Structure 1
């Protein structure tokens, strides 16, 4: 489980004295704990890894947006710190699909659902997320689906 890998990384970074990695791992664990608290009283998620991946993908998106803003604002030291956190978070995610594999998956789903126009984008995105959600950057997938259906 990804959660166990993150906890193991926390312990190893504490032992090795790697403070930047430790800080990033603690952020990941805090976000996972927040999601666990949100889900209290509701049915537990069917797949814990999927929930953890969703949390980390959101964190990655936030980091990328922050890096862009810091670079535009001339705050390279803050952008570098965010980049370091981003790299730590990405270490725990499953291998991401490349653009060619994403396009192939989109074409398969389009054929199965009979999607022909941008009006069908919601169905294609829902199927894509359910099948490949952990392996995809959904913002990139959204752009590719739009191109494919246009």
Structure 2
């Protein structure tokens, strides 16, 4: 079952269970997905969005809420920070399990090997391979420097 179907089923269940906060978060997820579909239609791509794109949207939503929660905590608004963290928990139900640091390191090594990357110029190929295989399972903002370090070990930087 694809992620979008799971979100819609959870939305219906939240309506039945009268869970207001969960329902609001699930509606935000649906709105973000529909916004992406509309943007794609405007750009001339009418094939709909795939599961990988839905996972990317969910990852972005999680990252935004983490940043907001951190800002609220720094500002002393713990009630708002808690609300953001609750939304993160709901969004993460639909994301695949995050890889551990060791698993990410192994994935980076495998991607470098599989793509035949030899220098920093090949970083795009490696990142593309990782995104194709591990979307939603790792933070690519953190993975980029790891790929760069891996590629620079050979002294090709």
TM-score (norm 1): 0.88
Higher mean C-alpha displacement, 65-74 vs 108-117? 108-117
Matches within 5 A, 1:104-115: 104-115=106-117
- Structure 1: state its 5+ residue gaps: none
> Following superposition, which runs of at least 4 residues in structure 1 exceed 6 angstroms of deviation?
none
Superposition RMSD on alpha carbons, in Å?
1.9
Residues 1:28 and 1:113: Cα distance change in structure 2 (over 3 Å) = same
Higher mean C-alpha displacement, 18-27 vs 64-73? 64-73
Residues 56-91 of structure 1: per-residue CA shift (max 9 Å, x gap): 111111111111111122211111111011110000
- Which residue in 2 is equivalent to 1:42? 45
Greater helix content = 1
Residues 1:74 and 1:146: Cα distance change in structure 2 (over 3 Å) = farther
Shift of 1:17: 1.4
Q: Between Structure 1 and Structure 2, how many residues are aligned?
A: 149
Residues 1:19 and 1:139: Cα distance change in structure 2 (over 3 Å) = same
- Which residue in 2 is equivalent to 1:125? 127
- Structure 2: state its 5+ residue gaps: 153-157
Residues 1:117 and 1:76: Cα distance change in structure 2 (over 3 Å) = farther
- Which residue in 1 is equivalent to 2:72? 70
